[in-house]
Structure 1
Amino acid sequence: MKGLKKQRRIQIIALAAVLLVGSTALIGYAMRDGINFFRSPSQIAEKAPAEGEVFRIGGLVEEGSLKRGQGSTISFSVTDTKTSVPVSYTGVLPDLFAEGQGMVGTGSMVNGTFVATEILAKHDETYMPKEVVDALKEQGVYVEPKPGS
């Protein structure tokens, strides 16, 4: 009788392990397109991402770089004050999008230009995405905003 209980316990543990591995594999497979890595312009200059790889870029919209093309195509450069990357976007920009302000874009590199499918801008006068702040701190150019300003 004890051998039967022990065997049943081993079978249940083995089945649970197989189910755990299977569910982990399914979750990983489902998320494969949903994971976008963040890169600063300097990181892109150091090691260019693969053509067509979807990732996020963040930084400040470079002053004087915003150009409106035909229709709803907009081009500008995003910078971390060390390196700039040209960006092209077709669509409606967020209301708070402006030169000299923080932004994060999702897209991929095509012929040396970041072609964005989504652009996110700051939502108040002091907000800047954490990834952008970290990248600017890494460059030594980020200044903490004063409380109440």
Structure 2
Amino acid sequence: MANADDGLIRHVCDQLDEHQGLCIYVLREDRRSWRADQVGLSRIAIERLMGDSTKAFLQMRKMLLNHEGSAEHVAVLERAKEEYNSIVGTRGPIALRALDRFDYVLVSGTIHEISTRVATLIDHLGHAGFRENTPASKLAHDIHNLAVMTTKMVRNLPGHD
């Protein structure tokens, strides 16, 4: 029988699917069950962070590993990679495995913290002069859209103004 948390999670998923085709879940600390916290979302598992952004980040990662592009671009990609790692919380072994496999990413922190960090990532990419339709710019747009949608979603949760 579905409980109130299940209903809230489904509501969150429906809301995101309607806008961006994203599916977002709240992962309990014991990783065995799902729950939604009315005060905020402390740990978020985002499954398939929009296929295009995953491909874009893989291309960015490959570019870094192969040292392609100008020294400036490589330096900015390195900073972007560090910021991305910070966003997805790679300090935990489960998150590290998730990031390596790119099946899903585990995001730690409040939505405000995450939104602030993705803004920093987008700034890093923008300052390097990445043009539209490059893997980096597509990734930045996808993460920006994710931040906007999750922020809207949290504002609509009970207990949020």
Could you say which structure has the greater relative contact order, defined with CA pairs below 8 angstroms and 6 or more residues apart?
2
Q: Which has the higher helix share?
A: 2
Q: Which has the higher strand share?
A: 1
**Structure exhibiting the larger radius of gyration computed from Cα positions:** 1
Normalising by structure 2, what TM-score? 0.22
